[in-house]
């Protein structure tokens, strides 16, 4: 395994946040969640080399970083900030006052995709905001049938602001249509990945934890270990053809992210949920798509509860991997693995 540096101590908790939100400003600085037990999260800009940090926002959703700016939601408002100065301004606010989900951003940093949901309704309203103009438009709205009505994990396509991914949330053994993409040009949505049944009619393929490929042509996701057919592991679905390919199956994969150049994946592993005493360590694995290798990079102590999921993510040059774990004080902390497999 490669060299690992840890951020955290006995007083504060730190987390890297969800794996779909880029938190890296460059190869040396990233935005982390920081808090004391029983207090709200503060998000700080942290320098790995010097340990210096400064506050960017407080009490907000996970920020996402791109092009020297950071984007976050707070209640019904979307904010965009300048990494250099730390100043942030509100660019859009829901007139109804309904809360917004976390923001996801296109590669060029102009468009933000979000979900808005009335507090008393499970209908998800998918929005795209143009941060250059402040205009926000509805792309699609969806409410699935009971008992699993929730549409969530909303992610705008990094290469096309007209496309938004969303997931059918619920107990994975019973969700037969997990992956969806809505098209704002037509106002329609379609399930992009077919899930097979067993000969007895049970759901064979249990999918989840998706991530766009950087070019926006497809998505990576995990076929969970509770699936009833082999192989199980990291998959890729082509957006145009809906063809699914198994990419890696050597570990009990859980969440999967992708490097900025699209050449490598980084994932964590899940425990055996059926075991009487599940292992308290998740493995962080790098998958080299060109070489076809799966390499153990780090082991992360975990409680298996948010916010202590590893959720690993590459730095821009893929030379470092950040992940969330536990330290010797029992605090949530962030590990930085120096990945020697970087190009």
Q: For the chain, what is the HEC assignment?
A: CCCEEEECCCCCEEECCCCCCCCECCCCEEEEEEECCCCCCEEEEEECCCCCEEEEEECCCCCEEECCEEEEEECCEEEEEECCCCCEEEEEECCCCCCECCCEECCCCCEEEEEECCCCCCCEEEEEEECCCCEEEEEEEECCCCCCCCEEEEEECCCCCCEEEEEECCCHHHCCCCEEEEECCCCEEEECCCCCECCCCCECCCEEEEEECCCCCEEEEEECCCCCCCCCEEEEEECCCCCEEEEECCCCEEEEEECCCCCEEEEEECCCCCCCCCCCEEEEEEEECCCCEEEEEEEEECCCCCCCCCCCEECCCCCEEEEEEECCCCCEEEEEEECCCCC
pLDDT of amino acid 122: 84
DSSP 3-state of 298: strand
User: At the fourth CATH level, which superfamily is domain 4-338?
Assistant: YVTN repeat-like/Quinoprotein amine dehydrogenase (2.130.10.10)
pLDDT of amino acid 219: 98
Measuring CA to CA, which residue among 128, 71, 112, 119 is closest to residue 97? Answer: 119
Task: List the chain domain ranges.
Answer: 4-338
**Alpha carbon distance, N-terminus to C-terminus of the chain:** 17
pLDDT of amino acid 341: 67
CA pair distance 66, 72, nearest whole angstrom: 12
pLDDT of amino acid 343: 47
* Cβ-based neighbour number of residue 166 at 10 Å: 25
Which alpha helices (H) appear in the chain, and where do they start and end? none
- pTM for the structure as a whole: 0.95
Find the length of the chain: 343
* Cβ-based neighbour number of residue 134 at 10 Å: 13
Q: State the chain's mean pLDDT as an integer.
A: 95
pLDDT of amino acid 1: 54
Task: Please give the chain's pLDDT, 343 residues, in tens.
Answer: 568 999 999 999 999 999 999 999 999 999 999 999 999 899 999 999 999 999 999 988 899 999 999 999 999 999 999 999 999 999 999 998 999 999 999 999 999 999 998 877 889 999 999 999 999 999 999 999 999 999 999 999 999 999 999 999 999 999 999 999 999 999 999 999 999 999 999 999 999 999 999 999 999 999 999 999 999 999 999 999 999 999 999 999 999 999 999 999 999 999 887 775 667 999 999 999 999 999 999 999 999 988 999 999 999 999 999 999 999 999 999 999 998 765 4
C-alpha atoms less than 13 angstroms from C-alpha of 295 in its C-beta half-sphere: 18
pLDDT of amino acid 119: 79
Q: Which two tokens stand for residue 132?
A: 């250059």
């Amino acid at each position: 395994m490669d060299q690992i540096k840890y951020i955290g101590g006995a007083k504060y908790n730190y987390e890297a946040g969800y794996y779909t939100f880029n938190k890296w400003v460059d190869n040396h600085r990233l935005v982390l969640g920081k808090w004391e037990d029983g207090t709200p999260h503060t998000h700080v800009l942290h320098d790995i080399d010097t340990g210096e940090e400064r506050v960017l926002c407080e009490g907000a959703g996970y920020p996402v970083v791109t092009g020297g700016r950071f984007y976050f939601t707070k209640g019904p408002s979307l904010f965009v900030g300048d990494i250099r100065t730390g100043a942030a301004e509100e660019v859009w606010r829901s007139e109804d006052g309904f809360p917004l989900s976390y923001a996801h951003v296109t590669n060029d940093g102009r468009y933000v995709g979000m979900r808005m949901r009335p507090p008393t309704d499970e209908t998800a309203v998918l929005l795209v905001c143009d941060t250059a103009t402040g205009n926000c438009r509805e792309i699609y709205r969806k409410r699935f049938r009971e008992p699993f009505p929730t549409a969530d994990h909303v992610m705008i396509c990094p290469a096309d602001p007209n496309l938004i991914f969303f997931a059918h949330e619920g107990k994975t053994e019973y969700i037969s249509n997990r992956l969806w993409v809505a098209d704002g040009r037509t106002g329609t949505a379609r399930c992009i990945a077919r899930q097979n049944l067993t000969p007895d009619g049970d759901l064979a393929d249990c999918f989840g934890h998706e991530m766009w490929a950087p070019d926006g042509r497809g998505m990576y996701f995990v076929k969970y270990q509770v699936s009833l057919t082999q192989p199980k592991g990291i998959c890729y679905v082509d957006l145009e053809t809906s063809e699914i390919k198994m990419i890696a199956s050597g570990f009990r994969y859980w969440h999967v992210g992708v490097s900025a150049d699209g050449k490598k994946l980084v994932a964590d592993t899940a425990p055996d949920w059926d075991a009487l005493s599940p292992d308290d360590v998740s493995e962080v694995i790098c998958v080299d798509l060109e070489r076809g290798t799966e390499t153990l990079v780090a082991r992360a102590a975990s409680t298996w509860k948010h916010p202590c999921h590893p959720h690993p993510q590459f730095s821009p040059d893929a030379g470092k991997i950040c992940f969330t774990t536990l330290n010797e004080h029992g605090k949530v902390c962030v590990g930085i693995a120096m990945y020697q497999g970087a190009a």
